[in-house]
Structure 1
Amino acid sequence: MSATTVTGTVHWVEMGAFVWALAAEDGTQYQLYGDTAELEQENLKAKVEGQIREDLVTTSMIGPVLEVQSYEILS
């Protein structure tokens, strides 16, 4: 697992299973994992700190899984 900070926009993705994702400013899309209830708002801008979970595989397969450890809502 590697620690990272990602800034981007939250989206509801309907791919395989329905999931919340963070579209990063660099174009990478992360599947959010963990305590994400306050982040689950379409088009919410946020800065998320967490761990990339390379040991997890999901049915949505939209990108790396980002286990949320903390976050800051930007708008």
Structure 2
Amino acid sequence: MIGSIAGVLTTLAFLPQVIKVLQTKDTKAISLGMYLMSVIGIFLWMVHGYRIGDMALFIANVVTFCLALVILISKLKYK
């Protein structure tokens, strides 16, 4: 239960940033290095969750990966 709540909160934490970036196209204040490392780390957590068969871990990280990837791509696009 605690893991599920944590997964939902940390996943949804990316949503306001995604919305703001897509609306404003302003990525000046976003660190490219931080988002690059985050996307790679989230991807690795996603792979780990899949490999150990933990669907909650896997699904939370799939969604988080997609959201973080939108921000990373926007950072590169609107540089």
Q: TM-score, normalised by structure 2?
A: 0.23
> 1 or 2, which has the higher strand percentage?
1
Of structures 1 and 2, the larger Rg is shown by 2
- The structure showing larger relative contact order (alpha-carbon pairs under 8 Å, at least 6 residues apart) is 2
> 1 or 2, which has the higher helix percentage?
2
